[in-house]
Amino acid sequence: MSALAFRSISNAAYAMDGGSITLWLRDEHEVEHQLLLVQHRMPLRRPDRRLGRLYLDGRLIELHSPEEAAILAFLEVAPTSVAEHSGRKPTDRVTCAGADLEAFFAAVEKGPAVAARQLVKEVVAFVRFD
C-alpha cells in the first residue's frame, strides 16, 4: 500500500503507554489502515515493536525509505474525517504532566478533528527529526 492510495485520516489515538500514537488512514476503497508510531511503549505489552518506529498495519516501515517519505508527505496535507463528539468535555478533570500531553488535551478541547491533526503533527515532527 503506497501512501498515494490513502484519502483521509479517519481517527487518531494517543496511548497512555508513554506516548504511542495510532492514526487510522482510509484508502480509496474506504478501507481503514493503522499507522502506529511506537513511543516509550511499555515493553511487556509489545516487545516485538521498536521504539520510535512507524508500523503500517503491523508492518515495520523502513527508516528514510521512499514509503516513509510518501506517508509523511500524505500526513502533512491529509484531510481528516474524524467524527465530532457531543456531551461532556473529554478533558474535564485532566491533569497533564508533559508538554506533549498538554498540547494534545488542548487540541481535544477544540474537537476530535483538531486533536487528530495535533497527533499527525507530532508523528511527522518525530519521524522527520530522526
User: Phi and psi dihedrals of 30, rounded to 5?
Assistant: 65, 20
pLDDT at 46: 61
**CB neighbours of 81 closer than 8 A, spacing ≥ 6?**
8, 9, 10, 26
Tell me which residue has cell 503506497: 2
pLDDT at 3: 54
In whole angstroms, give the CA distance from residue 106 to residue 114: 9
pLDDT at 105: 76
pTM score: 0.75
Closest C-alpha among 79, 69, 78 to residue 2: 69
**Could you read off the pLDDT tens digit of each residue along the chain, which spans 130 residues?**
555 589 999 999 888 777 889 999 999 999 999 999 988 655 555 667 777 899 999 999 999 999 999 999 999 999 888 776 555 555 455 454 566 767 777 887 888 888 888 888 888 888 887 6
pLDDT at 41: 55
User: Angle formed by the axes of helices 112-129 and 66-77, to 10°?
Assistant: 150
Closest C-alpha among 6, 3, 31 to residue 127: 3
pLDDT at 58: 92
